[in-house]
A and B are shown apart, each in its own frame.
Chain A
């Protein structure tokens, strides 16, 4: 069985295979501030449920507009806090704690073998620690809150097999963008993706891959859960089964991978960075569930130490979580970034959804470490978003135009 089949069989209480339709038990239902008003309304008013199925199995995060940007969001957040208290939900992560996906991993709610649905498409994130995470809309989430279950067709799996290691200046984001280039935006639609050969990656690096899995349409993106820290024990029933049947296998020699970049306004509009013409940027934005962790900030800080970003560029850093921010304070990363000229925002989704904290204006060009460059994604529909790694972000901040990190001399 594939990892997906193993996890969903465990959650269904019977063996299920790709193509089977099954009802599965949920370990956690995650709801964030943007969808909570609809999900709770459907739960109470339409489904007629008074309580969530189990308050300990629900996680609520205020991350999409954190802190509140206007009266509508402030009022919605007050209502959500009251609802969380009424329901007795303890896994509540208020404004500033960080992006739900990152926080659920830090809090060890996401664990190998668990099934987690979230009101956010990047809930594939939980595959970083060997969980089956998937995003759903408000109605499916409300049904999950009411019943502790969902129904789904067990997806077939695309296996990605990586060999060797990344060269300097190249990393998991480049792999994720290369996959979007190879498979296109719908290449993994109705499929799960398994990532093999990446035991050397940190949990954070794995989260770059698992969140980006959604951008090739995947239902889940699971990194083989070997090489994880001890806090993520792997159940004995979850392992790579040599007899598993895969829909497709994609192989990649990481040592041949070069820095990749997604050009406006499609995630699969990907080219080698070296093939890009000179592009002047206005904003470098380092953050999101895809690349806003401490290690991403540290990569940027190491390149920026003792240097100043281009006076033509604004560099916005929005940590994925409070833990990431604290770790960046503790080891001096944050000071380095600030001394280089960067600005720091409240941990959360930031401008990734174009709502606040650094939205882009007309004709502005942004080099973004996030996961989507759709038209209008970060604000003006006439802004232009390029997606790349933290290494490219730092190199670009230094020069003011999109720059290959391998062209920046070591500090």
Chain B
């Protein structure tokens, strides 16, 4: 079963992937080793596909580096749930097709097992079914296309 990885507020992209571990400095192939390499060194080696990140406000602040959400996608993060996201991170994750939900689930604990129903925007935890705020329609359109690039190639326009 997927589990929760909990984080605090204002998680910055230097915590997600420090600048010196950028693909530019190392190589694209190594990126999956680096998510949270200093903030939570056990993360990259133990995270399982479908695991969910639950954080407090302003997740992803700081640098515009897309390799931060890219690294989370490479290790299979199923969704990120936080009361708010920093704008650039939100766009980057959206573009890559990583599901984001704006909700405060900080009452759940690190390591708890959960089930995420993306189609209905529901999270099952502690025997409860939690309704998450449904994503805006443009976000669902981008998810369904598999990211902004396939969306753009298909429609030859932005999702406006």
The chain A residues found within 8 Å of chain B, CB to CB, are: 21-23, 33-35, 37-38, 42, 46-48, 64-65, 69-70, 72-73, 76, 119-121, 123, 135-140, 142-143, 149-151, 185-186, 189-190, 217, 219, 266, 353-355, 359, 372, 374-377, 379, 381
Contacts and interface: CB of A to CB of B under 8 A. Distances in A.
Give chain A's interface secondary structure class. loop
Given A33-B24, A136-B91, A354-B20, A186 B58 contact: yes
23 contacts: A23-B158, A35-B64, A35-B65, A38-B66, A69-B25, A121-B63, A121-B88, A135-B64, A136-B92, A137-B69, A138-B67, A149-B158, A150-B158, A186-B57, A186-B86, A189-B84, A189-B87, A217-B58, A353-B19, A354-B19, A374-B62, A377-B14, A379-B20
A217 B149 contact: no
B87 A190 contact: yes
Interface of B: 10, 12, 14-15, 18-20, 22-27, 38-39, 57-58, 61-67, 69, 84, 86-88, 91-92, 95-96, 147-149, 152-153, 157-160
Contacts of B157: 23
Contacts of A65: 24-25
B64 A137 contact: yes
A121 B148 contact: no
A219 B14 contact: no
B64 to A, nearest CB: 4
Contacts of B95: 137, 139-140
B157 to A, nearest CB: 8
Would you call the interface of chain B mostly helix, strand, loop, or mixed? loop
B27 to A, nearest CB: 7
Nearest to B93: A137
Given A374-B12, A381-B38, A217 B19 contact: no
Given A48-B153, A374-B14, A375-B14, A121 B92 contact: no
A73 B153 contact: no
A137 B88 contact: yes
Given A136-B91, A354-B20, A375 B38 contact: yes
Contacts of B63: 120-121
Contacts of B91: 136-137, 140
Contacts of B153: 47-48
B66 A138 contact: yes
Given A34-B24, A121-B63, A354-B19, A139 B86 contact: no
A355 B25 contact: yes
A264 to B, nearest CB: 13
